[in-house]
Amino acid sequence: MQATRVGHCSSEYDFLLSLRDRESAEVGHSLRNVFDGSIAGWRQITEPAWKHWIPVNTFKFLGFDRMKRSRVVAIVSPKLEPRAVAGNVEKAEEARRALGPLGGVILEPLQVGVLEGADYAVFPYCRPVRIRRRFLRTMRRSLVGKRLLPWLRLATERTVQQPTAEERQDRFITPLEHLCDASSMPGHVRDAASLALGRLERGAWQPQLAIMHDDLNLHNLLQPPGIAAWNRTIIIDWERSAVRGYGFYDLIAMTLWMKLGRGRLRAEIDRHCRIMACDPVDVRGYMLATLGGKSMTLDEPLPNPVTRRPDDVVNDDVMGSISRDQRKTVVDVAAALARLKQLDSLEAYLNDRH
């Protein structure tokens, strides 16, 4: 059985890869007529191998000048989801308006349009934050983190809002109830959801809404070129963002790569708790509500390997066992589980404060 499944996964992966390669070649050819004459050519930006399992991912191309210097990046929607880029641009603009003066972290497109029936957008080139050398990588993470933590705190403070009765039901009560009954979720997740729901129903937890990026990892952090921009960080990929989203989710996501000390993390959580007017124990409630909201859109049970090892969801065996139209959702749910797992490391601290 295992050999048969692996063979099936391999053949499907090869099929999807060939589709992506063929479509990306067509997109690359069409890009020749996009943007101004300063762009001498385009080169596709390599994407992680697991993304070939999800055919609705966008295509990214680097535009360079005659001196081979990187100038712009073009993002093009796939044919299966031709409005993907336009939706991303609209989400980013919505977040920029909500953030006001804090919205400078969001890039504005230089050009938008339609290419062979699919939306595209061209952005100025920015350098990735990720660095190969370990000591430089650690230093860069520290610098980026020092800039982002105050920004996230101010962004949360600026956008925090009380949910309407309908939002309270749809964004918190229903997702938590869903988790309580989700047999595919680990027992400790169901138990924690039940406790959070109890605090909510008793009035001990009064949840608030605030802006949420939803995927605040190093891959989505960039730095503009030039020495003058050394202290500026750009946040990209606002596709899943929400102006009226869940607090704490981005903060916990940042701790996955920032490696904050317990004391500093405790202080940062305290600051966010004051902004969100909640007890530290309710951080888990926000994380669980996020997980419940994401998992409610699944049409099939969550595979056991995902619940056991959410960080390893993108391996070929797991992706090949999930129906094609559910893979993107499963990756989102796995990310929420990974953040909940990260929060578990703070359990002793939260219990001390409860």
Summarised one tens digit per residue, pLDDT across range 91-116 is: 999 999 999 999 999 999 999 999 88
pLDDT at site 5 = 38
| Torsion-angle region of 34 (φ positive above 0: left; ψ -120 to 50: alpha; else: beta) | beta
Residue 3 pLDDT class (50, 70, 90 cuts): very low
**Which comes out higher in pLDDT, residue 207 or 1?**
207
Q: Report the mean per-residue pLDDT for the chain.
A: 83
Decide which of 22 and 127 is more confident. Answer: 127
**Mean pLDDT in residue range 165-184:** 95
Tokens encoding 33: 């007529």
Residues 51 and 140 in one domain: no
My answer on whether 90 and 214 are in the same domain is no
How many domains does the chain contain in total? 2
Task: Give dist(CA 135, CA 168) in Å, integer.
Answer: 45
Can you give the CATH number for the domain in which 201 is found?
A: 3.90.1200
What is the C-alpha to C-alpha distance for residues 332 and 151, in angstroms, rounded to an integer? 24
Q: In this predicted model, which residue has the larger pLDDT, 88 or 259?
A: 88
Alpha-carbon span 269 to 155, nearest angstrom: 14
Task: Quickly list H helices, 277-346.
Answer: 283-295, 304-308, 316-320, 327-344
Domain span at residue 24 reads 13-125
H helices of 160-186, in order, are 165-168, 174-181
- The closest of 39, 31, 77 to 56, measured between CA atoms, is 77
Both 351 and 216 in a single domain? yes
Q: Could you tell me the CATH number of the domain that includes residue 69?
A: 3.30.200.20
- Distance, in Å, from the CA atom of 178 to the CA atom of 121, rounded to the nearest integer, reads 37
Residue-level pLDDT at 332: 86
> Where do we find the tokens 């490391």?
345
- Of 8 and 110, the one with more pLDDT: 110
Query: Rounded to two decimals, what is the model's pTM?
Result: 0.86
Tokens of 84: 């993907």
Q: pLDDT per residue over 184-232, tens digit each?
A: 888 999 999 999 999 999 999 999 999 999 999 888 999 887 655 556 8
Cα separation, 242 vs 92, in Å, equals 10
